[in-house]
Each structure stands twice: as C-alpha cells, then as structure tokens.
A and B are shown apart, each in its own frame.
Chain A
Amino acid sequence: MHEMGIASSVLDAVRIEAGKYPGSKPSRVGLRVGEWAGVDRESLRFCFEALVMDSDLAGLQLEIDYRERRNRCERCGNEFAVLNYEIRCPRCSSEATAAIGGSELDIAYVELEE
C-alpha cells in the first residue's frame, strides 16, 4: 500500500544522484528488497512505471534484487536461508540465530548515460 511513496523516494534519490553528473541521463536504478521488507515487488514496479511515465525520468528502468531472509548461527557461525520461518540452524540445531539479511530496502546503484 505504501509502494507509491517508496517509488517516489526512489525517484527523488535518482534525481539527486544524476544531479551530481551534469549532462547525464539515468537509465536504470537497482534496488535491494528483502523478503521481510514489507514491500510488494509487483506493486512497487507498477507504481514506479506510473511515476516515471511522462516524467523527466521517462525510460528509467527498475531492477530489483530480491533478498531472502538469512540468519547466522551464534553457536557455529553457519549462515543459512530461513525457509518456512525455521530459524534453527540446519547444521547444529541451535536456536540462537540472528537475522543478517532479508529486511533490505536499499538503492544499490544508478546507471547513467551520457
């Protein structure tokens, strides 16, 4: 539901980055979106395209790098994907594991053309 606001924040950030390279035109923006970020990727894409269309950023492409939930075991150091909410370490069965990824909502890069 808040994907429009998120898309709008992304475009603001793209404009700021592009402004640092006068004469360039942003062609692509790369996001990292975690499984638990609370963002629907399809909805985000729809909002992004709606905002980009007929704007100063027309033609800007969106690339989403989807990140699954990952935990690290505090006992044996194993890093693993959390599947079906199972946070126990698959190697040593410890329950003392902590999230190391999956909540991302980051702008990774912008591609610029001359």
Chain B
Amino acid sequence: MERVAVEKKVLNENDRVAAELRQRFADEGTLVFNFISSPGSGKTLFLERTLEAMPKQTRVAVLTGDVQTDNDARRLARVGFPVQQITTAGACHLDARMIDKALAAWPGERFDLLLIENVGNLVCPTSYDLGEERKIVLLSVTEGEDKPLKYPGAFFKSKVMILNKVDLLPYVPFDMQTARDNARRINPDIEIFETSCTTGQGLEAWNAWLRLQVELNQVKVLAER
C-alpha cells in the first residue's frame, strides 16, 4: 500500500473556473456581487428595488438562479436591464461553470455591475466561488436572529449583511441588536444595512453605497490601465 499526497481542494475545478471569471471581470471592469440567503428572505424584491434605483446609463446585468421556473427573471427584467435565469434543475447552488455558460449568451457585452442572485439556500452556495468581488448575505426579520450562528459559513464569507423586511419588526419577535451581534461574532468586519423593500426604509443608503462601489471599481480599473 502506498499513500500519495494529493493536497487539492475538493472543488478545485470550480475554483479554477472561478479564478478565470474573476480575471475576466477585472479585465472588463465588472463589479460582481453574489447574493445569498434562505428562500423567502426577499432577495428578488430587494434586487428589483436595487435595479429601479440604478442610473440608466450604468450597465447592469443580473443572473438569477433557481431550481425551477423563470419567474424571477421575468420579474427582474421588467426594470429594463438584461437578466438571465439559470435553472439548476435540482442543484441547490450556482457554480462557476453555470455563470460562465450564462455569460456566453451576452457575447461582446461589458457590464459595470453584475448581480448574481444565488439559489435560496444558506449552506451550499457558500462553498462555490463564482468569481465575485464579494458575497452579500440577506437575512429577513421573519427568520431567527440566531441564523448567523446556525449557518456561520454564509455569514463568515460575506462582507455585507442586509437585514431585510424591517417594516415587519412590530409584528415579529426579532431582536435587531442580537442579530447584529450574532453576525459580528461570526464576522467582526461585516457591513450591515437595514432595509424594507415595502416602505423603502434604508434603501437610499444601500443604493448610495452600491453606486459608490461601482464608481470605485471604475476608478480602480482606470488606475490599473
């Protein structure tokens, strides 16, 4: 019997494709965010509100992943930016190859911002790098404030947390401070936005931050050329 050291990541192949995507996004000046959450936390409406506030001259595209149906793509496309549905036909997450394949449907197009809505799931999507600049995790107040502790991977790997549906706080036993503290126990540097897509609360701050990130990325691209 002989033991051979392998020392490879299990998701080596996904990481390889993700690294190619990341290089391409850097070359093309595309800022990419990967949105992760449980099903029903309001990702799609949040993205609709985000798109509605984007200046029309910003080149934004959206990839939205679901196990079945193109309902989300149809909702998001109404705002007028290019949108593609990725149906995973059973898979509980998006992987880098699915992103690469979806982008091939927009040949020659360059985007300033690519928003990826992952499949609703706080576990599996955290393992798959999609070449994004950052992961953003959504948590709605109708879930438990201990979600960051139950699913630490998602909160550990995200740089931003959106605490969504805050208009429902009067009706649910959700403690905002505990939720914030739990997220910071897992990830002390996580940035937190509090939003309601129904009343619009907090969306202005989020949208201003997003526009700033797009501008900073453009400056970075120009500086590197």
Query: Interface on A for B, CB 8 Å cutoff?
Result: 1-2, 5-6, 9-10, 12-13, 17, 21, 24, 27, 31, 36-39, 85-87, 95, 99, 103, 105-113
Known: A2-B91, A6-B11, A9-B11. A36 touches B156 (CB 8 A): yes
Main secondary structure of the interface of A (DSSP, over half): mixed
Contact indicator B123/A1 (Cβ below 8 Å): yes
Chain A: minimal CB distance from B72 (Å)? 20
Known: A106-B9, A108-B7, A111-B3. A2 touches B185 (CB 8 A): no
Q: Flag whether B104 is at the interface (Cβ < 8 A).
A: no
* Residue in A1, A105, A108 whose beta carbon sits within 8 Å of that of B5 in the complex: A108
Give 13 A-B pairs besides A6-B11, A38-B153, A107-B7 with Cβ atoms closer than 8 angstroms.
Answer: A1-B121, A2-B92, A2-B124, A2-B128, A9-B10, A10-B10, A38-B151, A85-B152, A103-B153, A105-B11, A108-B5, A108-B7, A109-B6
Provide the bound-state CA to CA distance between A103 and B6, in Å. Answer: 18
Q: Flag whether B2 is at the interface (Cβ < 8 A).
A: yes
Contact indicator A13/B124 (Cβ below 8 Å): no
Contact indicator A95/B188 (Cβ below 8 Å): yes
Q: What residues on A are CB-neighbors of B140 within 8 Å?
A: none
Total A-B Cβ pairs within 8 A = 91
Known: A9-B13, A10-B10. A2 touches B4 (CB 8 A): no
Size of interface on B: residues with Cβ below 8 Å to A: 32
Chain B, Cβ-Cβ closest to A33: B10
Known: A36-B152, A36-B156, A85-B152. A111 touches B4 (CB 8 A): yes
Chain A, Cβ-Cβ closest to B4: A110
Q: Flag whether B186 is at the interface (Cβ < 8 A).
A: yes
Chain B: minimal CB distance from A23 (Å)? 12
Q: Flag whether B12 is at the interface (Cβ < 8 A).
A: yes
Known: A36-B156, A85-B186. A2 touches B6 (CB 8 A): no
Provide the bound-state CA to CA distance between A99 and B152, in Å. Answer: 13
Contact indicator B185/A1 (Cβ below 8 Å): no
Contact sample, A vs B, 17 pairs, CB 8 Å cutoff: A1-B121, A1-B123, A2-B91, A6-B11, A9-B11, A10-B10, A27-B1, A36-B153, A38-B127, A38-B151, A87-B185, A95-B188, A103-B153, A107-B6, A108-B7, A110-B6, A111-B3
